[in-house]
A = this chain, B = another copy of it.
Amino acid sequence: MKLINKNVDYAARALLVMSKTGGVFISARDIAAAQKIPYHFLRRVLQPLIKNGIVASVEGTKGGFKLLVDPAKLSILKLISIYNGKFQLSECMFRGKPCSNRRTCVLRKEVVKIENDFAERLGKLTISKLLQK
């Protein structure tokens, strides 16, 4: 079971770099060098962050990326949801097979509760927490 894949990993590290450079635009090449991330991979990783309004970009020479949001409000959960879709560990454990009624299923209720708690806590793991040291 892997929760953090390279997409999320590299995105978090790129955002970490950006949160340090503040409002200045930094190029993908420089981010890649700073974190030893494969350049082309990083460029692909950055696109969804733009689409989600997390970073801004400018093209051309001296172009690059900068953070648009507060790192204290940017969670690992958010990144996971961007790259891996909605975070949910199991839509329904047995897809209606042994469970006659989804609404009354004991197991399902419990799983949903655990999932929610888990997601809530992952939502509190923010980029800014990585800087606290």
Give the B-binding residues of A (Cβ under 8 A). 1-4, 9, 12-13, 16, 35-36, 76, 80, 84-85, 87-90, 93-94, 97-101, 104-107, 110-111, 114, 117-118, 121-122, 124-125, 129-130, 132-133
Looking at the assembled complex, report how far the CB atom of A104 sits from the nearest CB atom of chain B, in whole angstroms: 6
> Quick check: A97 and B13 within 8 Å, CB to CB?
yes
Chain B residues within an 8 Å CB radius of A124: 110
Known contacts A1-B87, A1-B88, A90-B2; A125 and B110 CB within 8 A of each other: yes
Chain B residues within an 8 Å CB radius of A133: 99-101, 104-106
> Quick check: A13 and B110 within 8 Å, CB to CB?
no
CA distance A92 to B125 in the complex (A): 14
